[in-house]
Structure 1
Amino acid sequence: MTRKSEIIFNEANKYIPNGVSSPMRTFSLVGGDPIILESAKGTKIIDVDGREYTDFLSGFGAIFLGHSREEISQAVAAQLDKGLVVGLSTEIEKELARKIVESTPAIDKLRFVVSGSEAVMTALRIARAYTDRKYFVRFVGSYHGHADALLAQPGGNVAVAVKGTTNGVAENNVIMCEYNNSEQLRQIFEERGHEIAAVIVEPFATNMGFVKPHANFHQDIRQLCTDYGSLFIFDEVVTGFRFRFGGVSALLGVDPDLTTFGKIIGGGAPVGAYGGKEKFMKLVEIGNKVFQSGTFAGNPITMAAGNAALDLMAKPGFYEAMDEKGALLEKEIKQNFEKYDIPFHFTRFGALSGIAFRRSAADMQNYSDVKQQEYEIYKNVHLAMREKGFLMAPSLEEPIFLNDAHTNDDIIRFAEALAVSIAEQIK
């Protein structure tokens, strides 16, 4: 019998390229038919064929409080009765902005947009306008959304295939650097520092699976940007509000010029935000150098969901509890890897983590390390985990996303199933 999900996906292909509106949803990197969603509650996802999965994808990190969290659903429902998008500002927009600005010392002012891509695009626009320079540095393997400037094919010699590039981009103003390579970045600035408008970096490289920065990496970026008059942009679309109430920059002792947010601050609704020092944010004021606008920017539905989400995360003990979930996952993963003699390495910070699918006990440092992983093993493991009722990211180059709804039992069962699935592949 043909499954309902297969019928829907085949029908979607008639009207939507690849049948999806975002490429990861094809599951093309891991095999198997895409999951077609019926409903989601807490950590449980039900597909249109009635199959249940315990979710460790968590909306690619946007779901931090569990699916269909009652407090968020109630806030959205209340706003629905008041109106959707009417082209006006709201008090709840001001309130969400206040909470974010007060949470993060690096930010004086902030504006909302609809996606992380928009937030980063505007931050780069501000940097170019402020410095009157056109080039910026990004790191090989990182992903900052799909704005043109961020997907340009890089010039020069790049050691490995560059993730996230496209044709159809008019200008190539990007300079590539290896993540965690402060010396290479220093050489870039010595050669072209007078041309560089900004350096953009993820605090943790979460689009390579999970790669931590070395101890002084962000401080080195900060110093070079200061020395050469370039702006330092911290892309916290994934990390913002994940480890503390606010940007992780405060936790890491980093002082960026501009910061971008997304995912968590929308409570599951579409959102992006960019903020920073007053002198940079002034550029988007009316009549100044930088223009940004959007019908759905700061829309009331997202603002209602975001406020409800941040109120929940502001409660005492929330982040301590999330760290405990991460610590439990780490303990269970490592115990099971030892039990089944699995030579892969687990890395964690707070409730965000990843597994290096390579036979090494060392942390991955850059995208060259990432590309040494055994992608075919992950593909087979992903399929096996689906059969066992667990949903992971449909790419090896994404983290394991814990959320507040995950129970200890969810975590323990997941860790055991994952170790068994890997052991079956490396015999």
Structure 2
Amino acid sequence: MLYQRSSSLFAEAKKYIPGGVNSPVRAFKAVGGDPIFVNEAKGAYLYDEDGNRLIDYIASWGPLILGHAYAPVVDAVIDKAKKGTSFGMPTEIETELAQLTVSMVPNIDKIRFVNSGTEACMSAIRLARGYTGRDKIIKFAGCYHGHSDSFLIQAGSGAVTFGTPNSPGVTQGTAKDTLLAPYNDLESVKALTQANRGEIAAIIIEPVAGNMGCIVPREGFLEGLRELCNREGILLLFDEVMTGFRLAKGGAQEALGINADMVMFGKVIGGGLPVGAFAARSEIMAHLAPEGPVYQAGTLSGNPLAMGAGLAMLTQLNEHPEVFESLADKTEHLYEGFDNVLRKKGIPYQINRFGSMISVHFTNAPVMDFETSAKGNNETFKKYFHGMLEKGIYLPPSAFESYFLNDALSYGDLDETIAALDALDL
């Protein structure tokens, strides 16, 4: 395939935009080469600026569960845009979407709409601290909760040490209140809790991780966190920016049978538009301004374009729950095809999956946390990524990202993807 126009556009973008992109993973630094510039998309396909058609396995990093340019969502955006794009005042559709969300998601009574998953997680941590009167949080190495200062922390020298900033601009003062634990390691969380008893406001986690590949929680891990939080008066926060409304109507809470104290959502709750939300029981949300003392605000929060798109998307998912079985079946088909092909090739590999999330890791060892994910052969991944791209398959340009299937993918698309892998020399 030719990518001459994409390369030219990237060269021009670098003159005016840092690194030529507005989000780092788009730059292809992990895999080499120049990023692909998209012209349009429809259903399961991306169409780039050079006229190539690509089968899409990122779905805008998760939210486009029903495919690109899904007609009810597009129609809702157009309808709302004709009446005005933003008012900074209440609208009826905010309540309609809130009511629908609360009816679909377990263990929440109220929801606050914001403008991104980052903002949702940042606000949820503030609310957790305000509600508990405690300062510290526990997060897991490899889980991504946006680029708020509290989350850009790397692991210290041991399970009970403080983290240190892994981005300039994040202060040591912020870092000292963020404690790091390995994903799927309940004992490390217990040790952190013991060493900081009475100081931890919240444990925040991706219930099924998607930012070190797809990492599935071990049996008993989330249950153990729930018991620990109950015992220690800690809030359990599920970052469902990726899993919300994707794994089930009620997200990971429903799919895994574990109740969180607070859940955060991203673009899916706005049909793929820039939006986020956090939600909890009434007694927690009552601490949020203007009802309570914990401040959070945003002029574009609950804007009619995002609310209209979100209502259209969630209505479809609510009325057609069979889509979740369809997505899981398609993911299983892709898994079985990839597993057969890679076994024939005789190279080290692991395939992780849950629902419609899946990832391929070129390693012999099971991938269950960030450390084991990092052991994958990145040179093999680069060959894999670019080989698939050359055959019209667009995968996440990083070995540390989950793939997200959308229901517009046909079994023909899946078989084309499997055949592309079979033709590669890895």
Alignment TM-score, normalising by the size of structure 1: 0.94
Shift of 1:420: 3.3
Matched, 1:291 2:292: no
Shift of 1:36: 0.9
Shift of 1:5: 1.8
Which range moved further: 246-255 or 291-300?
A: 246-255
Structure 1 residues 343 and 155: CA distance shift in structure 2, 3 A: closer
The correspondence of residues 197-212 of structure 1 with structure 2, limited to 5 A, is 197-212=201-216
- Supply the distance in 2 between the matched residues of 1:275 and 1:266 (Cα, whole angstroms): 15
Structure 2 partner of 1:215: 219
Matched, 1:420 2:403: no
Alignment match of 2:263 (pick from 250, 259, 274): 259
- Supply the distance in 1 between the matched residues of 2:295 and 2:414 (Cα, whole angstroms): 46
Contact 1:5/1:48, CA 8 A, preserved across alignment = yes
Matched, 1:314 2:318: yes
- Supply the distance in 2 between the matched residues of 1:417 and 1:29 (Cα, whole angstroms): 21
Shift of 1:139: 0.5
Matched, 1:108 2:109: yes
- Supply the distance in 1 between the matched residues of 2:374 and 2:102 (Cα, whole angstroms): 37
Matched, 1:231 2:235: yes
5+ unaligned residues in a row in structure 2: which ranges? Answer: none
5+ unaligned residues in a row in structure 1: which ranges? Answer: none
Write the letter of the residue equivalent to 2:359. G
Structure 1 partner of 2:409: 406
Deviations 1:300-344 (A, max 9, x none): 111111111112212332222112212211222222223333431
Structure 1 partner of 2:42: 41
Structure 1 residues 196 and 92: CA distance shift in structure 2, 3 A: same
Matched, 1:280 2:284: yes
Structure 1 partner of 2:381: 378
Deviations 1:330-387 (A, max 9, x none): 2222222233334312222111111221124xx3121111111001111121111111
The correspondence of residues 31-70 of structure 1 with structure 2, limited to 5 A, is 31-70=32-71
Structure 2 partner of 1:330: 335
3-state SS of paired residue (2:208): coil
Shift of 1:164: 8.9
Shift of 1:154: 4.8
Matched, 1:139 2:144: no
Write the letter of the residue equivalent to 1:283. H
- Supply the distance in 2 between the matched residues of 1:56 and 1:226 (Cα, whole angstroms): 38
Matched, 1:395 2:398: yes
3-state SS of paired residue (1:61): coil
The correspondence of residues 90-169 of structure 1 with structure 2, limited to 5 A, is 90-157=91-158, 165-169=166-170
Deviations 1:155-182 (A, max 9, x none): 44379xx999312123211100011111
Alignment match of 2:361 (pick from 332, 345, 356): 356
Structure 1 residues 49 and 347: CA distance shift in structure 2, 3 A: same
Write the letter of the residue equivalent to 2:278. Y
Structure 1 residues 328 and 164: CA distance shift in structure 2, 3 A: farther
Deviations 1:229-265 (A, max 9, x none): 1111111110000111122212212111111011322
Alignment match of 1:339 (pick from 330, 339, 344): 344
Shift of 1:90: 1.6
- Supply the distance in 2 between the matched residues of 1:106 and 1:191 (Cα, whole angstroms): 30
- Supply the distance in 1 between the matched residues of 2:9 and 2:247 (Cα, whole angstroms): 38
- Supply the distance in 2 between the matched residues of 1:121 and 1:165 (Cα, whole angstroms): 17
- Supply the distance in 1 between the matched residues of 2:32 and 2:79 (Cα, whole angstroms): 41
Write the letter of the residue equivalent to 2:305. I
Q: What is the aligned-residue RMSD (CA, Å)?
A: 1.9
**Number of residue pairs matched by the alignment:** 419
Structure 1 partner of 2:188: 184
- Supply the distance in 1 between the matched residues of 2:144 and 2:96 (Cα, whole angstroms): 30
Write the letter of the residue equivalent to 1:21. N
3-state SS of paired residue (1:328): helix
The correspondence of residues 80-95 of structure 1 with structure 2, limited to 5 A, is 80-95=81-96
Write the letter of the residue equivalent to 1:252. L
Which range moved further: 363-372 or 402-411?
A: 363-372
3-state SS of paired residue (1:185): helix
Shift of 1:72: 1.1
Contact 1:75/1:308, CA 8 A, preserved across alignment = yes
3-state SS of paired residue (1:194): coil
- Supply the distance in 2 between the matched residues of 1:216 and 1:98 (Cα, whole angstroms): 32
Contact 1:140/1:163, CA 8 A, preserved across alignment = no
Contact 1:27/1:34, CA 8 A, preserved across alignment = yes
Identity, % of aligned positions: 38
Structure 1 residues 158 and 190: CA distance shift in structure 2, 3 A: closer
3-state SS of paired residue (1:137): strand
Contact 2:57/2:403, CA 8 A, preserved across alignment = yes
Deviations 1:65-96 (A, max 9, x none): 11111111111111111110011222221111
3-state SS of paired residue (1:221): helix
Shift of 1:188: 1.1
- Supply the distance in 2 between the matched residues of 1:334 and 1:353 (Cα, whole angstroms): 12
Write the letter of the residue equivalent to 1:192. N
Alignment TM-score, normalising by the size of structure 2: 0.94
- Supply the distance in 2 between the matched residues of 1:354 and 1:265 (Cα, whole angstroms): 24
Structure 1 partner of 2:15: 14
- Supply the distance in 2 between the matched residues of 1:233 and 1:115 (Cα, whole angstroms): 17
Which range moved further: 325-334 or 102-111?
A: 325-334
- Supply the distance in 2 between the matched residues of 1:203 and 1:240 (Cα, whole angstroms): 10
Structure 1 residues 2 and 420: CA distance shift in structure 2, 3 A: closer
Contact 1:266/1:305, CA 8 A, preserved across alignment = yes
Contact 1:270/1:302, CA 8 A, preserved across alignment = yes
Contact 2:159/2:192, CA 8 A, preserved across alignment = no
Write the letter of the residue equivalent to 1:295. T
Matched, 1:368 2:371: yes
Write the letter of the residue equivalent to 2:374. K
